[in-house]
Structure 1
Amino acid sequence: MARPSRIPHGVYASTILPMRQNGQIDHGALAAHTAAVCAVPGIEGLLVNGHAGENAMIHRDEARAILKTARAATPGRVLMAGINAETTADALALAADAEAEGADALMIFAPFSWMGGIDPRAVLAHHRALHEASGLPIVLFKSSVAGGGMSFPPELMRELLALPRVAAIKEGSWETSAYDRTRRLARELRPDVAVMASGDEHLMTSFAIGTEGSIVSLAAVVPDLVVALYKAVKAADLREAAALHARITPLAEAIYRDAPGGLVSARLKACLSLMGRLESCHCRAPIGALDAGEKSILRAALDHALCPA
């Protein structure tokens, strides 16, 4: 199948990474998870090896094997490969593997070492190297405003948007005013670039401001609700959108809002386990299991989202 030169608009799920108790990847569960999410009408594709997929905790050979499993399980769907590495050389190796395994686009994550601040020239050099080395469309990642040097300012985004094969932005500023600035900048410079809402706690607001879709891990847990919200806002059915927002928001807050943020993947897995969609909710050490109280909060939020009063 020919790879898309642009990213189709719509909802994409950032998937989790099933693991056994010993921290080894469960490829059978991964195949089932990715296939189940893509079976939901309105899901255009997946982001694999994103932050929700614990991309900081996996090795290069594992990242490639994950893509192979996901590609085999989701034929015909758009597959974005997350590229998260601390050096450009390692990022280039991940990108080459992703292209070889049938990825349709590369999402370039800011290395975590940039959080304390980075020379903009280094950011541009990193992205340009990946842009030049691969023929795949590029998805930029706009990190949270709380992410320090990982959150690129508008003047840096201007230069990144000048890269011809940039096809989309995963807009994860986690602040609606910052989301709006990114969207207006993209409309000014590159109206062909899809700005995809990525703040799980404020999807309705972002959709209302304007969006070409969404790339969120919440769609790996309740994909039907995220798709329904997206469609309701697109159809200007604000009553339906508000009702869906009221169902989704407590779940988004239970997963993403409370510290520590490093438990997001564990919470996503726990939700899928509570729903009977994942046998094991283990993460790789040192991330441990959630306690009964934490799971109780997630269960209540899930009940509210899935079975509203």
Structure 2
Amino acid sequence: MSATEELTARLRGTVLPAVLTPMDTAGSVDLRALRRYAERIAAERVGGVAVWAHTGRGLYLAPTDRRHVMTVWRDVLDVPVVAGAGVPRSERAATLPTAEDATVAMAVEAAGLGADAVMVYPMARYDGLPDGVDRAVALHERVAAESGLPVLGFFLHAGAGGYAYPPELVRRLLALPSTTGIKIATLDRAVDCQDAVRAAQGSGRLVVTGEDRMFGPSLMWGADTALVGIAAARVGLTAAVLDAWSAGDAGAFLRASDRLDRFAEATFLAPIEGYVRRMMWAAVWEGIIPEEAAHDPYGPPLPDAERHAVVACLEALATADEGAAV
């Protein structure tokens, strides 16, 4: 069995939180807070974690901070670590070949630091190019060849700097021997999500949902694994939905999906880039990140009313849990 096949089997049916990166207001990583947070996540029942992902602002971290982040997670966890690799969408001035080279270099760096797989961010500038599909496939092949790691394709919605992978691209990526699966994060575009899932089915590779606002439906459409930002603060809430679906327990699935949907409604809303800050607020309420390290300098400012809404949702869910336990 190849390394890609082994990783695929190990991750299937599990939750991988796209973890946060505790930072101060200036964007400096709080390493003490990061270690405590990593230890709390490691104590949960996770199949792995995704670092340098969108939720952790991985593409914006300074190289030294990026290395520190990977080192902490690799030191704390004994489950697979998937590392994001790409360039920020703000780097418009970089030529496309330069951006491709930077993505490959980041993947090679992740391999050197002990990552188990690489999640390749989509190049939004491929969208509309006559050879966009060919270039995307070639990039994934380069990442795998130069890093030596299994690769997870990343179908990301345009609002976060991605683009809609056509079914042909999904099928071609999953036909590569180095590809462990495809992560689908279309936000609210149900048809795009369904098309990608359908294109992936029958490949034997992971169909990974990143659909925080369509989590339950994405499982019903065929996703079998989860890599989501919503699990950055609420692993148990997320895992309960996947576990109930996998067990075929319809009643438990509906109840768990309802609870997760209520939390997603309070955290994944316009402006969507604000979700990282909202997840930070949730992590503070959960007691897994301290207030002074719960900042997202790369997202939009949000009114206090939004924090009150996140906290009110968490308190309501906690009250419901207490009532159910009586």
Q: TM-score w.r.t. structure 1 length?
A: 0.89
State the alpha-carbon separation in 1 of the partners of residues 38 and 289 from structure 2. Answer: 12
C-alpha separation between the residues in 2 aligned to 1:276 and 1:148? Answer: 31
CA offsets, 1:57-76, max 9 Å, x none? Answer: 212332222111111111x2
Aligned pairs (5 A) from 1:68-87:
68-74=71-77, 76-85=78-87, 87=99
Residue correspondence of structure 1 range 44-123 to structure 2 within 5 A:
44-74=47-77, 76-85=78-87, 87-111=99-123, 113-114=124-125, 117-118=128-129, 119-123=132-136
Task: Supply the distance in 1 between the matched residues of 2:160 and 2:294 (Cα, whole angstroms).
Answer: 26
* 1:178 corresponds to: 192
> RMSD of aligned C-alpha atoms?
2.3
For residue 109 of structure 1, report the CA deviation from its aligned partner. 0.6
Q: Following TM superposition, by how much is the alpha carbon of 1:289 offset from its aligned partner in structure 2, in angstroms?
A: 5.7
Q: Aligned in 2, Cα 1:173/1:123: closer, same or farther, shift over 3 Å?
A: same
Q: Distance in 2 between matches of 1:167 and 1:49?
A: 18
Offset at residue 291 of structure 1 (A): 3.3
Identify which range, 128-137 or 274-283, moves more after superposition.
Answer: 274-283
| TM-superposition CA deviations, 1:136-157 (whole Å, max 9, x none) | 1100111227678622111222
TM-score by length of 2: 0.85
> Counterparts in 2 of 1:160-309, with a 5 A limit?
160-174=173-187, 175-188=189-202, 190-191=203-204, 193-257=205-269, 259-279=270-290, 280-285=292-297, 287=299, 290-308=302-320
Aligned residues: 302
How far apart are the structure 2 equivalents of 1:64 and 1:3? 24
> Offset of 1:256 from its aligned partner?
0.9
Whether 1:136 aligns to 2:131 is no
Question: Hey, what's the Cα distance between the residues in 2 that align with 1:264 and 1:246?
Answer: 19
Alignment gaps of 5+ in structure 1: none
Q: Which residue of 1 aligns with 2:170?
A: 157
Closer, same or farther in 2 for the Cα pair 1:46/1:147, shift >3 Å?
Answer: closer
Which one is further off, 28-37 or 265-274? 28-37
Q: What 5-or-longer segments of structure 2 have no aligned partner? A: 89-98
Q: CA deviation at 1:47?
A: 0.3
User: 1:234 Cα deviation (Å)?
Assistant: 1.1
Cα contact 1:168–1:196 (8 A) shared by 2 = yes
Whole-angstrom distance in 1 between the partners of 2:239 and 2:27: 32
C-alpha displacement at 1:99, in angstroms? 0.6
**In the alignment, does 2:39 pair up with 1:38?**
no
CA distance 1:25–1:103, change in 2 (3 Å): same
- Partner AA of 1:215 in structure 2: L
Question: 1:231/1:285 Cα in 2 relative to 1: closer, same or farther (>3 Å)?
Answer: closer
Instruction: Describe the superposition over 1:83-122 as per-residue Cα deviations: whole angstroms up to 9, x where unpaired.
Output: 12261221122111111111000000114x5386443333
Equivalent residue for 1:18? 22
**Structure 1 residue 305 displacement after superposition:** 2.7
